[in-house]
Chains A and B, each alone.
Chain A
Amino acid sequence: MSKVALLLVGSPKAKRSTSEVLGGYVLDELQKNGFKTEKENVHRLLKADNGSEKLIKLVNTCDILIFSSPLYIDSIPAPVVRAMEIIAESKREQNQSNKQLMLAITNCGFPEASHNHLALDIYKHFAKEAGFEWVGGLALGGGGTIGGQPLTKFGRMTKNIIKSLDLTTFALLNGNMIPEEAIKLMEKPMVPNWLYILVGHHGWRTAAKKYGVHQKLNNQPYK
């Protein structure tokens, strides 16, 4: 029987989610290596009828659990915290003996990947509490650069990310911790900080102009 890998995407975005692109890459590679794969968006799953039950069932039947989420306020988005609460509570009530690996990937809108480290610590605590074997976490800075587009579209700019995810997949296939090299490659900036900031600021102004509020970007409605 094929082993099962489950990807839980923590981004609320229906389209162009960088979290989905990153986790999806690993999922696709696992599928090429004989895994049966499942993918769910946490936000939509928890809103669905019987979403909690479906979440528990999917998690209980997987061999590898992958969380991929954006960084929200230095941490994990609220619905993902809720999903983890549900999973941990369910695990406390059962005696599951099969080994289940867990990987987490986080990406943030700041250029430095290090902003994600606390979110990965939280995922690690969850893995321990819920009885998963933690294989490690990957942190990506400047997630806005990818903007939910395929990693292969960017040429050399995403070569470190792809190599990191390939190394991660190889480790998962062998039931190993993800190597330090994969962690370091993922954290390498795609573009220099100054360029990221410059493009970011231009992007905010351009988007605001579209809605006619570019002169109001510094509004203080609650003053």
Chain B
Amino acid sequence: MKVLLLNGAKQNDSTVDLVCATFNNELIMNGHETQIINLRDKKIASCLGCFGCWVKTPGECLTDDDGLEIAKAVVQSDLVINITPITFGGYSYELKKALDRLIPIISPFFTKIEGEVHHKPRYERYPNYISLGILSEMNEEMAVTFRNLVARNAINMHNQLHLSSIMVRNQDNAGIILEIRELLQKVGA
């Protein structure tokens, strides 16, 4: 299985980096091909909302930077793992700047999913997702928002299987490994 790990940590966020490294170790031990992208080190401009990726160069963003590589890697992966400090219930800036650039991988045309309007898929298949959010301390309201956000993203990005999980920063290594193994088992990785 081809697995893409998107690390949404800021510089010097050792907890998020540790979780990312642990995921990677477990995946390699299970025989999977992995790619880690530390988003803070990548040049990813903000989405301009120009829709050029739909009507000028369909399927590809006009901004020539690392955002292109990430969109391509997402489509070509079997599993994408987002790891992020939970930021006001959502993703960190580092992760969000990459996610905003994924618009080219869906179609501009609309379809209805369970009675609600969404964009049609551009591709026949999309990767499964695990989104793991890290909180400094448990905050139920933010945790609910994060889980709902992951679920909504999965509808719009046409992910068949999506899992969200929340960790707190003071979790010990054994707990992190256990949680990660459980998540990977659920997605067959």
Chain A interfacial positions (CB closer than 8 Å to B)? 11-13, 43, 70, 72-79, 81-82, 84-85, 88, 110-112, 114-115, 118, 121-123, 125-126, 129, 193, 197, 200-201, 204, 207-208, 210-211, 213, 216-223
Are A112 and B116 in touch, CB under 8 angstroms?
yes
- Contact in complex: B109, A213 (CB < 8 Å): no
A51 to chain B, nearest CB (A): 13
Q: Judge whether B89 is part of the interface by a CB distance below 8 angstroms.
A: yes
User: Which of B47, B54, B145 makes the CB contact (< 8 A) with A77?
Assistant: B47
B23 within 8 A of A: no
**What chain A residues lie within 8 Å of B157 (beta carbons)?**
73
Cα(A211)–Cα(B58), bound, Å: 11
Q: How far is the CA of A2 from the CA of B168 in the complex (A)?
A: 44
**Secondary structure of the B contact surface, majority rule:** mixed
Closest CB in chain A relative to B42 CB, distance in Å: 13
Which residue of A77, A122, A125, A204 is within 8 Å of B55 (Cβ)?
A204
Could you say which of A81, A110, A122 contacts B117, with CB atoms under 8 Å apart?
A110
State whether A222 touches B49 (Cβ < 8 A). Answer: no
B189 at the interface (CB under 8 A from A): no
Q: When the two chains form their complex, are residues B89 and A78 in contact, meaning their CB atoms are under 8 A apart?
A: no
Size bracket, chain B contacts: 35 or more
Docked Cα-Cα span, A43 to B48, in Å, equals 9
B105 at the interface (CB under 8 A from A): yes
Of the candidate stretches B24-32, B70-78, B159-167, B169-177, the one touching chain A is B70-78
B148: Cβ under 8 A from any A Cβ: yes
Given A73-B153, A125-B88, check contact A85 B93 (CB 8 Å). yes
In angstroms, how far is the closest chain B Cβ from the Cβ of A190?
14
Whether B88 lies near A73 (C-beta < 8 A) is no
Nearest residue in B to A17 (C-beta to C-beta)? B49
A-B interface pairs (CB < 8 A), number: 145
In the bound complex, residues from chain B placing their C-beta under 8 Å from that of A216 are: 58
- In the assembled complex, the Cα of A207 lies from the Cα of B50 at a distance in Å of 12
Known: A75-B90, A75-B149, A125-B142. A193 touches B100 (CB 8 A): no
A110 adjacent to B118 (CB under 8 Å): yes
A75-B96 in contact given A122-B88, A213-B55 (Cβ < 8 Å): yes
In whole Å, how far is A71's beta carbon from the nearest beta carbon of chain B?
Answer: 10
Q: Within the complex, what minimum Cβ distance (angstroms) separates B77 from chain A?
A: 10
Question: B residues within 8 A CB of A125?
Answer: 88-89, 141-142, 145
- Report the Cα distance A197→B111, complex, angstroms: 9
> Would you give the shortest CB distance from A204 to chain B, in whole angstroms?
4
Find out whether the CB atom of A217 lies under 8 angstroms from the CB atom of B96: no
Chain A residue nearest in CB terms to B92 = A81
The reply to whether B108 and A204 form a contact with Cβ atoms under 8 Å apart is yes
Most chain A CB within a 10 A radius of its CB, from B90, B153, B157: B90
Cα–Cα, bound, A2→B151 (Å): 44
Q: Please tell me if B122 contacts chain A, counting CB pairs below 8 Å.
A: yes
Most chain A CB within 10 A, of B59, B71, B148, is at B59
Would A219 and B46 be within 8 Å (CB), given that A73-B153, A74-B149, A204-B109 are in contact?
no
Contact between A12 and B123 (Cβ–Cβ < 8 Å)?
Answer: no
